[in-house]
Amino acid sequence: MVHMNKRSGIESRKRILDAAMKVFSGHGYAKANMRMIAKAADISIGGLYLYFRNKEDLCFTLIKNRLDDLAGRTREALGDIDDPAEAIGKFISIHIKYVKKHRELILVQGREHGFAFGIEIKKKFFRSQRKLLEDIIRKGIKAGVFRKCDVEESAKIIFGAIRGFVLSIVVEPDSLFLPEECSNLILNGLVRRNNK
């Protein structure tokens, strides 16, 4: 019986988070309230407070879940790839596709929080993702696939391009770039090499 309760607890929590996402997307963070979220999740307001302290806690949990999910998916996808160039392409593509898929949460945050909400958790996520990129670049240099470069700076630039994509979703949605073109530019550069 304990297992059943635990499972239904996890399901209720997921239902609440899905409902919160719909309410935040539809009404904006500022106008959304716990009563609306409880109604959308088909749960009593008291039941909702058993899971989350307030609207901020709910939004924070949504962001944390999305970032944890993306970090997990990225690690998993890169686990099977040996070629560093392919790994960079995959890293960029996973992040950009994920951002597109979850653009509502980005829009809600960007419009009302200016991306400052949950900043500590985001910084931790950014650091972990840059570290992942650094590892790929180091591996590529060691294998002779990439030229010698400043590994940390290169990782910052690549991840900066992805963060620029996130910002564009809010500020300039018609300027979004293709992940393939981003990878192509990063891996091949702009300057023409003499192929002898």
- Structure tokens, 174: 């018609």
- How many angstroms separate the CA atoms of 185 and 27, rounded? 39
CATH code for the structural domain at 55-196 = 1.10.357.10
DSSP string, 128-181: HHHHHHHHHHHHHHHTTSS----HHHHHHHHHHHHHHHHHHHHH-GGGPPPHHH
Q: Rounded CA gap, 90 and 72, in Å?
A: 14
| In the chain, where the domains are located | 1-52, 55-196
**pTM of the predicted model as reported, rounded to 2 decimal places:** 0.87
Per-residue confidence in pLDDT tens, the chain, 196 aa: 444 466 688 888 999 999 999 999 888 888 999 999 999 999 999 999 999 999 999 999 999 999 999 999 999 999 989 999 999 999 999 999 999 888 888 888 777 776 677 889 999 999 999 999 999 999 999 999 999 999 999 999 999 999 999 888 888 888 889 999 999 999 999 998 776 5
Conformation bin of residue 189: beta by default, left when phi > 0, alpha when psi is -120 to 50: left
CB 167 within 8 A of CB 159: no
Q: Which fold has domain 1-52?
A: Arc Repressor Mutant, subunit A (1.10.10)
